[in-house]
Amino acid sequence: MKTTQQILVRVLCIVALLICLPTVQAAAKETQKKAPGNAAMHLHHMHTMMNHGLIMALQGSNLVMLSEMKMAPGIDEITLSHGKKMITDGKAMLKDMLNGDHMTAMHKRGEANSPLMAYTHDLANASLTVITGLEEMKMGDIASPDVMKMHHMHIALNHALEMAAEGSNLVMMGQMKMAKGVDRHTADHGKQMINDSLKLWKEVMGGSAMADMHTAGTTPESSAVMGDTHKLANDQKKVLDLLANMPVMK
């Protein structure tokens, strides 16, 4: 009797194992399928941080320019100091994403050669070029109407890139598919923000204000501030184009 019970228990265990085995195998396959996705998710979280660092620097630059217009003694000093700190902190965040422990660990796991990784480095380096331009920007003679006009252009260009970076973060959030019914709206709005930012960039650089200054002789060759304006705009356009063409997360 005891032997019969032992045999029955063994048979039941084998049957249970056979029933569970396909589920275990399916779970293992699903884990393998998700491995590349997890790497992509990791990189997109890094993209979000990189975009945030860029936004910090752009907002800081606008505060610096506002303070250097010398229109509010007592406040100008505060906005100047805070603006410079935002640029420094934004740049540090980007560098940490590009060269920090997170990136080092991904390279060690063999995730260095994917197209999304190459894109990540391109985006980070292009953003750092913009931030360096913001750090090196010279105000020029703010009593000059043309110089004041160009700094207003810088503020508009910085705002355009902020919009694109924020829009990019919304697109990535929508692609993560964590909120059914909201994801599509989030991604669509993000894409619209990027499109609007490209439109604003074109309006600033191709508008009548820029054309009139060029016609009057204020060109990149004759004016250091105009030269800086065109360099900043071109560097920002590279980031705008990268954000507009970010690979879809899979």
Q: Which helix (H) or strand (E) holds 35?
A: helix 2-68
> Per the domain annotation, does 21 fall within a domain?
no
Portion of the chain with pLDDT greater than 90, in percent: 62
Cα dihedral value 130, 242, 190, 102, nearest 10? -80
Question: How much is the pLDDT for 91?
Answer: 97
Question: Is 45 part of a structural domain of the chain?
Answer: yes
State residue 32's pLDDT score.
38
Give the number of domains in the chain. Answer: 1
Tell me whether residue 139 is in a domain.
Answer: yes
| pLDDT for 143 | 84
Residue 158 within a domain:
yes
Residue 224 falls inside a structural domain: yes
Using one digit for the tens of pLDDT, what is the confidence trace for 147-186?
Answer: 899 999 999 999 999 999 999 999 999 988 888 889 999 9
pLDDT digits (tens, 9 = 90+) for 7-41: 655 655 555 545 554 554 444 444 334 334 577 88
> In this predicted model, what pLDDT tens digit does every residue of 199-245 receive, in sequence order?
999 999 999 999 999 999 999 999 999 999 999 999 999 999 999 99
R_g (Cα) of the chain, nearest Å: 26
The mean pLDDT value for 50-75 works out to 95
Q: Which region, left, alpha or beta, applies to residue 217 given φ > 0 means left and ψ of -120 to 50 means alpha?
A: left
pLDDT at 19: 58
Does residue 23 sit within a domain?
no
pLDDT of residue 8: 56
Instruction: Examine residue 106 and state whether it is found in any structural domain, yes or no.
Output: yes
pTM: 0.82
Within-domain flag for 181: yes
Range of the domain at 41: 35-244
Contact 193, 187 (CB under 8 A): no
Q: Would the pLDDT of 44 be above 90?
A: no
Residue % of the chain over a pLDDT of 70: 85
DSSP labels for 158-188?
HHHHHHHHHHHHHHHHHHT--STTTHHHHHH
Residue 27 is predicted with a pLDDT of: 42
pLDDT band at 142 (very low <50, low <70, confident <90, very high): confident
Question: How does DSSP classify residue 192?
Answer: H
pLDDT at 144 (0 to 100): 87
Query: Average pLDDT, whole number, for the chain?
Result: 86
